[in-house]
Structure 1
Amino acid sequence: MPQLNPAPWFAILVFSWLIFLIIIPTKILAHTSPNEMTPLSAEKHKTESWDWPWQ
């Protein structure tokens, strides 16, 4: 029964994890967004307090 011999299955497991941990993240992180984020302005917005007559 081939399931009892761990040698080929362990190698497949190790190589698949190497692909998932090394190759795929580098390919995903290499992509750039077509819409780059623009920095927000540094000025603060004026907020008004609410002067509601609470009863």
Structure 2
Amino acid sequence: MPQLNPSPWFAILVFSWIIFLTIIPTKILSHVAPNELTPVNEEKHKTEPWDWPW
């Protein structure tokens, strides 16, 4: 039964994890956002109490 022989399956597992951990993250991290992020003002908005009209 070939599935009981671990040597080809272990090699496939190791090589696939090497690809997942080295090549794919570098390709994903190389993408640049199209717009630069702008910092948001941290000033507090003035809130006023509002009474219900009924």
For the aligned pair, the TM-score class normalised by the smaller chain equals 0.7 to 0.9
Structure 2 unaligned spans of 5+: none
Query: Aligned equivalents of 1:53 and 1:34: distance in 2?
Result: 47
Query: Aligned equivalents of 2:2 and 2:26: distance in 1?
Result: 35
Aligned-partner residue type, residue 7 of structure 1: S
1:12: which partner in 2?
12
Structure 1 unaligned spans of 5+: none
Shift of 1:21: 1.9
Higher relative contact order structure (alpha carbons within 8 Å, sequence separation ≥ 6):
2
Shift of 1:6: 1.2
1:22 is aligned to 2:22: yes
TM-score scaled by length of structure 2:
0.73
TM-score scaled by length of structure 1:
0.72
1:49: which partner in 2?
49
